[in-house]
Chains A and B, each alone.
Chain A
Amino acid sequence: MKLETDRREFLKLAGLGGGVVFASTLWGGTLDGAENEFHFVQLSDTHWGFEGPPNPDARGTLPKAIEAVNALSRQPDFVVFTGDLTHTTDDAGKRNDRMKEFRDVAGKLRAKTVRFLPGEHDAGLDKGDAFQAHFGATHYTFDHKGVHFIVLDNVSDPGSIVGEAQLKWLEADLAKRKKDAPIAVLTHRPLFDLYPEWDWATKDGAAALALLEPFKHVTVFYGHIHQENHHTTGHIEHHSAASLIFPLPAPGSVPKKAPVAWDATHPYRGLGWREIEAYPGKGSFEIEEKTVSGAEEVKKASLAGILG
């Protein structure tokens, strides 16, 4: 595994690493726990039920991505969907139908464990009732091979907050952790003010980050903004994933936020999913961005931005 790490490091430094991004590179510990290394897959913002010109293959994109995940020679330990599983609707019956359909489609994943968390499209209009009926709790924790995963719900309150009750729950959970424990937060919206003008923020996200700040190895994986983005607040890293329905423009790059138009000459461009390699012994992660069909994304510009 050391060889693998060195190869990645070389690729990163050489700017040849395609879609590979190192997370939590500040770590300076030992390689103990290397036997616990594992990988998982993040899928996000599938918006099942959406119809419109931004994606003429709206019902086909997620199945294609699932096919690609199933084709991985090494299956992930688990797959996580980071919110907006379904596209919102005022019709409660239709919302339930979309969630049932989504479950059926996601059920085709070969991975034995699939985890879900809500986006505002799933939970913002009914405070998460339908989501809970189909997928269970909207916030929870789980431990996997030495990494403590915390699923935070910042969407069931339509005001896009984590909320006092959940913050207390988070504080109580963190009180049981060692300060050097590797922690991964899975959530839908950015916990920092990425671009509040487009509602790309969580109103009380700073309170959640303040609770996480004392911990040495914290990485946040989220969705919502329909594009890859990498940001650091203090020593906490935040990595958003691409969508599987339509991409959105870079924050503030256009006067009005709207889906990026479908390009028939480059179908599915800007859409994708990611594989995440976890190194619990180091408290770090390595992200590999994939196209819908599973090819490795080449994003030299992004890498330069991250590494610069």
Chain B
Amino acid sequence: MRRRAVSAAFAVILAAAAVLRAGAAEPRVVRIVAKRFTYTPSEITLKKGEPVVLELVSEDRVHGFKLPAFRIRTDVRPNEVTRVPLTPDKTGTFTFACDVFCGDGHDDMTGTLIVTE
């Protein structure tokens, strides 16, 4: 009886450790919503070396997401979630912008990525 209790407790610990390991491996998700002519949020702060997944969605029409400093570009479509993995390897302030012409205000559709140590 006692041995069974110990085994059960050990199994719980192992399971908890597995959950923790899985949690540590899961990159943080940063959701960015595109809508004429803004990104929300328009400013994102990440840590150098921290893996994240940018989750991009559009609330109206096709937009673009271009982050040249990290060689990232993708279309952002309505009713679709676009996931882009990113592990910043440098610090600084970088611009991302819509590169699919979306109307008067397209030029204003930009955002800032800040990468800190």
Contact = CB atoms under 8 A, between A and B. Distances in A.
Interface stretch (A5-13, A82-90, A167-175): A82-90
A135 interface: no
Interface in A167-206: 193, 196-199, 201, 203
Interface in A251-272: 255-258
Contacts of B38: none
Given A158-B62, A159-B64, A257-B110, A199 B97 contact: yes
Contacts of A193: 68
B10 interface: no
A199 B95 CA distance: 11
B74 to A, nearest CB: 11
- For chain A, which range describes its interface: under 10, 10 to 19, 20 to 34, or 35 or more residues? 20 to 34
Contacts of A236: none
Given A159-B64, A257-B107, A197 B97 contact: yes
A275 interface: no
Contacts of B110: 256-257
Contacts of B107: 198-199, 257-258
Contacts of A201: 99
Given A256-B110, A257-B107, A257-B110, A196 B101 contact: no
A87 B101 contact: no
B95 A158 contact: no
A151 B46 CA distance: 43
Nearest to B94: A197
A158 B102 contact: yes
Interface in B60-114: 62, 64, 66, 68-69, 73, 75, 94-95, 97-104, 106-108, 110
Report, nearest first, the 3 A-B pairs whose CB atoms are least far apart: A124-B101, A197-B95, A120-B101
Interface of B: 62, 64, 66, 68-69, 73, 75, 94-95, 97-104, 106-108, 110
26 contacts: A87-B104, A88-B101, A88-B104, A89-B104, A120-B106, A124-B106, A125-B101, A158-B100, A158-B102, A159-B100, A160-B99, A160-B100, A160-B101, A196-B99, A197-B66, A197-B68, A197-B69, A197-B94, A198-B95, A198-B97, A198-B107, A199-B98, A199-B107, A203-B73, A203-B99, A257-B110
Given A159-B100, A255-B95, A257-B110, 10 more contacts: A88-B103, A155-B101, A159-B64, A193-B68, A196-B68, A197-B97, A198-B97, A199-B66, A203-B73, A257-B107
Interface of A: 87-90, 120, 124-125, 155, 158-160, 193, 196-199, 201, 203, 255-258
